[in-house]
Chains A and B, each alone.
Chain A
Amino acid sequence: MKTLNNNNLTTAFCIALALFVSTPAAFAQAPENAALFYYQAFLLYEKPDATMDKMLSDFLDDKIGANEVIEQFIGKNRAVIDYLVTAADTPYCDWGYDYSRGLDLMMPNLARLRRATYLIQTEAKLLSKKSNYRMALDRCLSIHKMASHVADTTLIGYLTAITFNRRANNSIQGILEDMPGDLQTLDWLKSQLAEIGNRPSPSKIVVDIEREILGAYMTREKFNEMLSEKELAVEASLLELARERVLVADEQFFVKNKDYWEKHFAVVKAALDLPYVQAFAKLNKVEEKVKKDVIEDIAATGTAILAAPFSRIYSQQVKTKTFSNAIRTAVELYIIEARTGRLPDKLPADMPKDLFSGQDFEYKKTEDGFILRCRGRDLTKGEIYQYEFKVKQ
């Protein structure tokens, strides 16, 4: 009895000691997972009503100027912004996705994060209007960082990240136009953009994730589940054909479909290493092949239903990266202008490239700034993009 009492005392002491040691540590350390900050920010964010929403949208589109109402809205969401910025600065991010759910995988964070980037973008613009350019640019960089936190999750996460990058670039472009030559800020921005731009692209990672998640549907049970329950934006005739084939399918049907799927993704991944024109041609070719094969070859059925249009996705990726390269090139030109008082007559060497052509941007000075023009065409839309920058006199 006495011994038992002693054991209880020892246990109680150990628990108290553990609590004493661990509690201060828990208070002292911030979470290492950015997603935890994001989720808290999402819970705190007050969705603007329709009038406020319109006002914010008009402000971002330069249809109206800054006003008190917008300032108040940003003030009300200060805690949200703080959490978002802290999250963006946290390198590691695990959203806790349950990939085993396959096509039923929930990604509610993407919609919330998209809204959050608008909030950050609005604050960046307000800061810029108040001549706080450095912090305004820092907010834009936060959007780039937020993009990187969803880019390597799924293909849709990657595409969503691309839209974040594009909006961050638009904001940076606008701030650079408003900002008088400030060498220190420009040098800082140059190094920050280089750091973000030099990160390896997660495009191959998401291709692998897509291959893995959807490749699991190449079994009888999952194939049937996909055809009967899932939302699939494919032609009705293709679905009908697939249903007819599955009805009479033997096990070899699914083995062949899985094999075709793997080969398709091997070609897609290999294409991502090529320059844009060749990559686009290869992706386009393999997509056309699937469309043709599915008519005669039962092995192409699953791929025809599930494979994403990678040629289109790849073009979007190149378009956004090219815009980022144009921004980086522009920052170099702004630095030269800030140092020398005038823009150079030609582009400096070793500038980031136009990824549609793999060459330097075509550079042209204008009355109030300069234009960087792509030399290659976006083969999905047939367009040649150009980026116009104004220099504050």
Chain B
Amino acid sequence: MKKQENDKWLDELISQTINTSEPQFDVEKWRREYPEEFQVLKSRAEQKTSTIQAGFWEVVLHNRLVKLAAAVIIVAIGLLIVHRIPHRHEPAKVSKMPKSPAEMLTMASLNAAYRLGGMEGVEKQYEEALELLGPRPAKITVKELLAEFNGT
């Protein structure tokens, strides 16, 4: 005898003793037995729904602050969507702006300056780089260096 068959008689016995099915609420039966209570409950439920709906739209339409906040959210969502959509015809960056004299004096940067403005463009870039690099002392004598070394 298998174990499952052996347990079957026990399950049947329990089912007969204890009602294991979910309890069922019979609305029609309850309405017939308690008509007044049913009407009161029904009218309360309808009143509550309409109050909630009217209150929400009243706040949205009549409160400036909420209207402003709603507008900001709508604009933000719009901008987000616009920026997320890839633009195929958007021009790619042609060049990076040189940031330091060192960057301005690289082969890449000077070649780019020539392509854009000829030798005038290159010479302008030289000048701009030198402006950023700053002045140099006119002359440093050995005497001055020694004075600096000796801390005088």
Contacts and interface: CB of A to CB of B under 8 A. Distances in A.
Interface string A68-89: 0000000011011000000000
B116 A233 contact: yes
B93 A154 contact: no
A112 B111 CA distance: 18
Closest 9 interchain pairs by CB? A111-B126, A103-B108, A46-B138, A233-B112, A233-B115, A47-B135, A236-B91, A105-B107, A236-B92
Given A156-B122, A231-B108, A309-B115, 17 more contacts: A44-B138, A45-B136, A76-B139, A103-B106, A103-B111, A108-B129, A111-B130, A114-B126, A115-B126, A156-B111, A160-B119, A231-B96, A231-B106, A232-B112, A233-B115, A243-B92, A308-B115
A44 B105 CA distance: 20
A47 B134 CA distance: 8
Contacts of B136: 42-47
B94 A236 contact: yes
A312 B111 CA distance: 13
Nearest to A115: B130
Contacts of A115: 126, 130
A150 B41 CA distance: 99
Contact of A232 (B98, B108, B130): B108
A92 B94 CA distance: 39
B44 to A, nearest CB: 66
A130 interface: no
Interface string B109-123: 111111110110011
A159 B113 CA distance: 12
Nearest to A45: B136
Interface string A227-241: 000111111110110
24 contacts: A44-B136, A45-B138, A46-B138, A47-B136, A76-B138, A104-B107, A106-B105, A108-B133, A111-B105, A111-B133, A114-B126, A115-B126, A115-B130, A155-B111, A156-B114, A230-B108, A231-B96, A231-B98, A232-B95, A232-B108, A232-B112, A233-B116, A235-B94, A312-B118
Interface string A11-50: 0000000000000000000000000000000111111000
A358 interface: no
Contact of B94 (A42, A108, A160, A239): A239
Nearest to B118: A312
Interface string B72-109: 00000000000000000001111110100110011111
B137 interface: yes
A42 B136 CA distance: 8
A111 B138 CA distance: 18
Interface residues of B, number: 38
Given A76-B138, A154-B107, A233-B94, A162 B123 contact: no
Contact of B115 (A76, A107, A234): A234
Contacts of B134: 47
B81 to A, nearest CB: 23
Contacts, number: 115
A301 to B, nearest CB: 15
A104 B106 contact: yes
A319 B94 CA distance: 31
Contacts of B98: 231
Do most interface residues of chain A lie in helix, strand or loop, or is the interface mixed?
helix
A163 B111 CA distance: 16
Given A235-B94, A236-B92, A107 B140 contact: no
A316 interface: yes
A213 interface: yes
B65 to A, nearest CB: 44
B102 A106 contact: yes
Interface in A89-132: 101-108, 110-112, 114-115
Contacts of A316: 119
Contacts of A232: 94-95, 108, 112
B148 to A, nearest CB: 15
A233 B101 CA distance: 18
B139 A114 contact: no
B63 to A, nearest CB: 47
B139 A79 contact: yes
A243 B101 CA distance: 28
A103 B103 CA distance: 11
B91 A102 contact: no
A156 B115 CA distance: 11
Contacts of B123: 114, 163
Contacts of A236: 91-94
A102 B111 CA distance: 12
